[in-house]
Every structure is written in structure tokens, then in C-alpha cells.
A and B are shown apart, each in its own frame.
Chain A
């Protein structure tokens, strides 16, 4: 892997949220500050033109990562490096130049479009705010082109978001994201509010656009089937940490981390092969008070004393996947071939 090939690098990023009660309550009730570690030491990199997916259950920190990468949150620790430039150290003008090059698509196509703006204005907003074009006619032509690219009609410029269905709104979001000619799109659960047939339309569209414009995606999702379809590499998150990262094929055929194995076995079996499932035990612990050592140990069938006391580090496994698990390192886990 050449360094120039890496478009985005996330180095040891952590993000904490202060969720304490008000100061006066804390003093009266003698409570400590409550710090929620939404993301705790996550590192990964994304190559140009590839799709990296982050999966995990609710509260695992995947959306927080998306927002940190986009600069909507500042990281509490660590750095985000886009095309060789550290976002935190870049000057304001440099940042502005960089910001043009990545965009975000959000989960809820109802909340992410301003209901009082016409579609044309919504899509043109990034063009105007980045000062890419100033001529009105030129902007209108560009919006026409974008609408056609995402499968809508140029006449839709004059409509308001409420006149569109969920899938069409998500197409508008995509057109808006594409309007500043970005190289990199952060997609936070872009299809989870949509029905399956509409989801298929959007996923196909995203793949087509990637091929056409050479886009790079960071794709956040809780749906493993969607992830297996769209991504090249997958990172599995649990309680703010990455537990495993590997090629999509590798991770779905040979999951190493016990949590990944559990997640894969929990997916309803559409083909009804009658495969034996591992019973899924327990629930995600409260992130305010995560378990010691490896945070997965209370639910892990392979946990031992080391797991309860020492947090595992990311290590490279034989097949090139990265995994953070003592049991995998010590080869205590039988290799399980899924599907």
C-alpha cells in the first residue's frame, strides 16, 4: 500500500461527551462528572476509490466517527488526516479548500432537507457557499445535470422536499452532496430509513456514481447485508472501539472476533438453510460504565482472566485482517467459516 493511495487516515481518534448533571446538582448530591466515551482510540485509513464500512449496534460510536471525520465534532484526542493534511492543524483557508472535497449524506431524508427551500436551492447550496460558481444560469444548469445524474428530472428544481417520497429525497441529498464535486462521501446510514426496494435503488445509484466519479465512501450502517453488498473493507465497532477490520470477503467468510461471529450469526437466515446459530447472549453494556479490560468480555464465550483486566490491542491476523482480541491472539478460538 503506497501512502499516496490513502485518502483519509484516522489516527487514534477519541471523542468524549460530558453528560454530567448540572454543576449544582453534582455538588448537592456529591456526584462525580459523567464522561461518555463515544469513541475511544479508533484508527483506520481509507484508500482512494474504495468503500470502507463501519458496522455495529446502536451506541457503538459509528455515527460519532462519521461526524468527527466530517469535522462536525472535534476529536478529544487523535487526528484526522485528509489527503496528507492534518485537519486540526490546517489553516482556515486550507480547511475551506479541503471541506469542498468531502460531503456527507445523512440517515433521515426528512430531517436533512430544509422544508422551506426549493430543491434547486438545496442542491445549489454547497456550490454557492464554496463559491464554486456564481453565475445563476450556470448554477441552474449544474443543478439540472445533478438531478439527472441521480435519476430525477430537471423540472424537480422548482418543487419542495415534501412533494417527494423518502427514496427521492435521499436522491436529492445525494445530488446536494455531489454538487461540490467531492472525492469523498461520508454516508451515515443512508438507506436505513428506506424500504428494501427503494434501498436497492439507492445502493445501485451509489455504486454507479462511485464508478463514474471515482468516489471514496465511508459507509456507516448497522445492516450487515447492505454492508456486504456495498463495501470493500469492513470495520466492526463495539462500545467505541474497533474490534475487527478486514476485507469484506474475509470478514463475512471467516470472522475472527467473537463479537463479529455473534453479529453474523444473529442475522436472520433468509435462505433458510437451517444453519446452527450461536445463541446470542446478553446486551450491550452501558457505555457510561464500560466493562474493564476487553469491553466485550461479559458477553464473550471465550473470556478469561486476561480479558477482564487487560484491554486487547489491534493485531494483524494471518489473513491480513486486523483484530483486537486476546483469545484470537492466543488461538483459543476455533476458526469458524460462515456462509
Chain B
């Protein structure tokens, strides 16, 4: 980053989300920190169960009990929002943080016309007359590309196709002009041609409105098209975070390297895809030390430290990776752990 960044719009510090269950306490999001600058698109990518959706839900105050924020802070514009009461949070949700979810059918009320749902949001959060709210709703629908918006406003959700419904959901998220939108798999339920339309739309609107987005998805392609920075999650932790081009072209963490190699590529022919053996650990059996260590092919280069001590995010190439391979160029080298000087060639990662 060359220019000094303005205050982050959203800051998450050491967030931990836990689920008390009969079989013990499960930590689904484990000590993650991230920030989003105004107007920035942060991608959060990971496989199912990595905790990416829960991170989004925690930020927008929609964790389902018994899930709860066990520790950490969430700051929006410098103000703590993780300890607000449900009533206080309702004023923020929609007004300051908007949400777009995966399934456009379940995020719209089937019994109300879309116009009523959008005007309701506008009237709740903004001080305008009902007539003005309706006018705004039509403008919004026009903006998201719904043809004949003045007629469509009186239609019910079931009268729209999947792509059109997702457009309605986007207009709903934008209705009260929030500063931040949490988009949780916004295009996963859509066909590829519709997905391209929605991505383009989301990008255009956020540029015009200066809205920041936290884009949660499992699809690296969507991230590549949309995000400025990306955080890769694994087993409830951020394993790598950095500018999107760097993470995609020059990943540093062994998990990210494997993940990128596992994606079939249209432009190049490979006989076999890179394969990460095994699967992500269950929440009740997260390995000690680095959560990725049982599947890691480069563990041998570091030694026992991987299985005993959890790595923090360390500078690695142009990104930050939570991997002991990069302990050398960080400040916390061997000094506190002298047994681990067998780190070979920490700078080069086989791609």
C-alpha cells in the first residue's frame, strides 16, 4: 500500500465464534482479524466449513444461537458493534450494513410485493415520505437493471426469475445506502451467464456508491473478478491475506498453493490437478499447531513446530501467510523457539 489508508470502515479484531454443544465447545471462527477500507471489496474464500459465512454473520449480528461471539471486537467506523443489544443492532442492519445472501428466494418475503419490501426498508431507515420512498424504490430497481421497474414493483417474488430476484435483493441491500455490504455467496445459486451479470452489476453499483463489500464465496473466479484483497480461510482461521492478484498468481501458504492448483483451468492443459489429500478437519478434531499440518506437503521443511505451535500471519512475499515457512523473514524467528532452524528456502514456494 503506497498511500496512507484512511481509517478502516470495518475492523475485526481477534474474533472468535463458538458453539457450546453437548460434546464440548466448538470454535468455528478462531481468532481472526481483518479490516475493510472504504470502497474496498474484500473477498473471503474457503471451502465449506471454513467459517467464512459465520464471520459474515457475526459482523452483521445474525449469528444463530447457540453460536456466539466468544471474544474479540468488531468496529464499524471506529465504533464497537459486537456488544450492541438486538434493538440497537436493528438500527444498524440495513442502514449501515446491508446483506445479500445466497438464495434470493429465501431472502425475500413471498407474501409481500417487492415494492413493499423495498419501501419498508427505506422508510425504516431514512426520513422520507412514502411517496418519495416509492420513487426511490423504482429508481433502485431501474439501477439494478430490472426492466419496466414501475410495473414490476407491484409484483411478488415468485414472478421473478432467479437472476432478477437476486437483482431485487441487491436493490434491497442498497435501499438505505449502507456503507458496507456483506455478500454471502451472492452468485452461487445462479447459472454462469447470470452470475456474470450479477458480478458486473455489484461491481458497478459499489463503485458508484462508494460501498465496501465483504464478498464471501467459495468460487475463486468470482473473487478474481471482483475483489481488491482476499482472505483465504481454513478451519476457522485466516491462512493467507493479501492483494487478490498476488494471492492468485503467487500464493504463499501451502494450502492456498494447493487450492489454486486444484481449480481446473480453461487456458492450460494439465494431465492431473494438484491434489490436497485428506479433507478439512471437523471442528471437534482440529489438529494442534497449524490446522493444516496433517495435509501439508511442506511440513517436513519446518519440523515439529507445525504440530505444536499455531502460526500467526507472517509477511510472505507480497501477502501475509499463517505458516511457519515464513518465520525467517518475520520478527519471531527461532529466538523463542531455537529448535527450529531447519527451515529450508522459505522464500520459494513450488507453484
Contacts and interface: CB of A to CB of B under 8 A. Distances in A.
Contacts of A268: 195-196, 199, 219, 221-222, 224-225
B192 A267 contact: yes
A336 interface: no
A271 interface: yes
Contact of B161 (A199, A263, A265, A283): A283
B279 A270 contact: no
Contacts of B276: 197, 200-201
A200 B221 contact: no
B197 interface: yes
B193 A262 contact: yes
Contacts of A200: 261-264, 273-276
B191 interface: yes
Task: Choose among A196, A223, A228 the residue with the greatest number of B CB atoms under 10 Å from its CB.
Answer: A196
A11 interface: no
Contact of B221 (A167, A195, A267, A277): A267
A222 interface: yes
A317 interface: no
A200 B264 CA distance: 8
A196 B218 contact: yes
Contacts, number: 119
Given A225-B266, A272-B248, A339-B266, A196 B192 contact: no
Interface string B228-265: 00000000000000001100110000000011011111
Nearest to A339: B267
Q: What size tier do the contact residues of chain B reach?
A: 35 or more
Given A225-B266, A268-B222, A269-B224, A197 B272 contact: no
Nearest to B46: A195
A211 to B, nearest CB: 10
Contacts of A209: none
Contacts of A280: 193-194, 196-197
A228 B266 contact: yes
Contacts of A226: 264
Given A57-B191, A280-B193, A283-B194, A270 B265 contact: yes
Contacts of B196: 265-268, 277, 280
Contact of B248 (A58, A263, A270): A270
Contacts of B224: 268-272
A196 B259 contact: yes
B277 interface: yes
Task: Choose among A200, A265, A279, A280 the residue with the greatest number of B CB atoms under 10 Å from its CB.
Answer: A200
B46 to A, nearest CB: 9
Interface in A86-123: none
A165 to B, nearest CB: 5
Interface in B150-175: 161, 163-164
A198 B48 CA distance: 11
B270 interface: yes
B216 to A, nearest CB: 14
Interface in A196-217: 196-201, 203-204, 207
B192 A229 contact: no
Nearest to B200: A279
A252 interface: yes
B220 A222 contact: no
Interface string A236-276: 00000000000000001000000000111111111110000
Contact of A201 (B199, B222, B259, B277): B277
Nearest to B276: A197
Contacts of A58: 191
Given A167-B279, A283-B161, A266 B272 contact: no
B273 A204 contact: yes
Nearest to A273: B267
Given A229-B264, A268-B199, A339-B267, A207 B193 contact: no
A253 to B, nearest CB: 10
Contact of B191 (A204, A270, A284): A284
Given A196-B47, A201-B277, A224-B266, A272 B193 contact: no
Contacts of A269: 221, 224-225
A280 to B, nearest CB: 5
Contacts of A271: 224, 248-249, 265, 267
A182 B273 CA distance: 25
A195 B48 contact: yes
Contacts of A265: 196
Contacts of A223: 264
Contacts of A204: 272-273, 275
Contacts of A230: 264
Contacts of B200: 279
Nearest to A56: B191
Interface in A165-181: 165, 167-168
Query: Sorted from nearest, which 9 A-B pairs have the closest CB atoms?
Result: A268-B221, A200-B262, A229-B264, A195-B47, A266-B196, A200-B273, A57-B191, A225-B264, A268-B225
9 contacts: A203-B264, A229-B264, A252-B266, A269-B221, A269-B225, A270-B220, A272-B245, A280-B193, A280-B196
Given A168-B279, A225-B265, A270-B248, 11 more contacts: A57-B192, A224-B192, A230-B264, A267-B221, A268-B199, A268-B219, A272-B224, A277-B196, A283-B163, A284-B191, A339-B267
